[in-house]
A = this chain, B = another copy of it.
């Protein structure tokens, strides 16, 4: 027994077929639409191709039509899917649905699974996760949660405002996080509720215009106003929402890394193709030292991010909380992916900022990842605190 980077042959095979699908089917669609595809036809077309290729929903259990990949398996397959902005949509592993499926698999009742998880896993419907609130509500600091759930006979009434709720427009249901005890800033208890899109108390206020645009369904500002749900809408236990948020966020943070790592590789490949072909001052770009430095730094960033992701996955698969390793992997990967896309664009020069290739689009899409799922500063803060605590324990 020793450290081993070999993947299970079944995983390797799945990854290979995913790569083929992305190259042959997904990228042509992506290039046609500039990476932004928000029509149901496109979604259905891509997902059908993934089903035909036998790579659809690889992360959910076999009973739900998936491949039951553990986190390490996801790392390999999601990276291949992420090689195109639309690959995750094709495989039904895009945010936020992917994280919601994971959460529902772990927390939902059998009945809730049938009603919400099964169609979601099949790509029949989409979902959203309604946690983040405009300032001064829940953002980097979840304990600032202001949306309230009040007990009413037979159920709960939700009131509050959420924003940056990805995919909310067109989703068939939302998982809404609301305060069931305590006060904003004090901690206290939160609860997760399953809210159907048809509920008249949940309203799409607006599509928030954002730097990134490719996530299906956009980023939405949502209003919960006198939104009544039944007792059976409670996901898991009352007041345990913050705990479940961790169940969702630890892995979700890392699956983001996997997908964006794939996109970083894509950016590098675009730059490599350009560097191999473009001549300036009598040399191919690929022969110029400063370009080689950018290429090499891309390779290093990609390899380092992959190592950190695999490490965090291994810990999660062992059932650890993996707080430190997921924070480390998320912080490094978000910044590394950003650097890789930025350097790749620089290598391509004016072509890089044009819509003739997708690097400008990629730059826009990856920038927010240094902010969502915990800004780099918040993660660094917790990484440092854990390091200090751990050292003070071990030094004793």
A residues engaging B (CB < 8 A)? 1-9, 11, 34, 70, 72-73, 75, 132, 135-136, 139-141, 144, 163-164, 185, 208-212, 219, 268-269, 272-273, 275-276, 278-282, 286, 288-293, 295-300, 303-308, 310-311, 313-314, 317, 324-325, 328, 331-332, 345-346, 349-356, 360, 363-364, 367-368, 370-372, 375-377, 379-381, 383-385, 387-388, 391-392, 395
Which B residues are CB-close (under 8 A) to A70?
A: 2
**A395 CA to B276 CA, complexed, in Å:** 11
- Nearest B residue (CB) for A12: B1
Contact check: which of B3, B72, B141, B395 meets A2 at CB < 8 Å? B72
- Nearest B residue (CB) for A359: B211
**Cβ contact within 8 Å between A380 and B273:** no
**Cβ contact within 8 Å between B299 and A324:** yes
**Cβ contact within 8 Å between B324 and A279:** no
**A132 CA to B305 CA, complexed, in Å:** 34
How many copies of this chain sit in the oligomeric assembly?
4
Which B residues are CB-close (under 8 A) to A140?
A: 280-281, 349
- Nearest B residue (CB) for A382: B296
- List 29 A–B pairs whose Cβ atoms lie within 8 Å, in order of A's numbering: A1-B4, A2-B72, A3-B4, A3-B7, A3-B310, A34-B209, A136-B278, A139-B280, A140-B280, A164-B354, A211-B364, A212-B353, A272-B388, A272-B391, A272-B392, A289-B292, A290-B377, A291-B377, A292-B381, A293-B377, A293-B380, A295-B384, A295-B387, A296-B381, A300-B383, A304-B332, A345-B367, A353-B368, A353-B371
**Cβ contact within 8 Å between B370 and A346:** yes
Q: Is the interface of A mostly helix, strand, loop or mixed?
A: helix
**Cβ contact within 8 Å between B352 and A371:** yes
**A146 CA to B291 CA, complexed, in Å:** 25
Which B residues are CB-close (under 8 A) to A72?
A: 2-3
- Nearest B residue (CB) for A367: B353
A129 to chain B, nearest CB (A): 14
A365 to chain B, nearest CB (A): 11
**Cβ contact within 8 Å between A349 and B286:** no
Contact check: which of B292, B328, B395 meets A273 at CB < 8 Å? B395
Contact check: which of B9, B298, B380 meets A290 at CB < 8 Å? B380
Question: Given the interface contacts A289-B381, A375-B349, does A311 sit within 8 Å of B368 by beta carbon?
Answer: no
**Cβ contact within 8 Å between A380 and B311:** no
Which B residues are CB-close (under 8 A) to A375?
A: 346, 349
- Nearest B residue (CB) for A281: B141
Contact check: which of B2, B208, B219, B297 meets A73 at CB < 8 Å? B2
Which B residues are CB-close (under 8 A) to A286?
A: 384, 388
**Cβ contact within 8 Å between B353 and A293:** no
**Cβ contact within 8 Å between B2 and A380:** no
Contact check: which of B1, B7, B304 meets A8 at CB < 8 Å? B1
A362 to chain B, nearest CB (A): 10
Known: A1-B6, A136-B279, A211-B354. 19 other contacts (CB 8 A): A2-B4, A2-B73, A209-B354, A210-B355, A211-B360, A211-B364, A290-B290, A292-B380, A295-B387, A296-B381, A296-B384, A296-B387, A300-B328, A300-B331, A303-B325, A306-B307, A307-B307, A346-B377, A350-B368
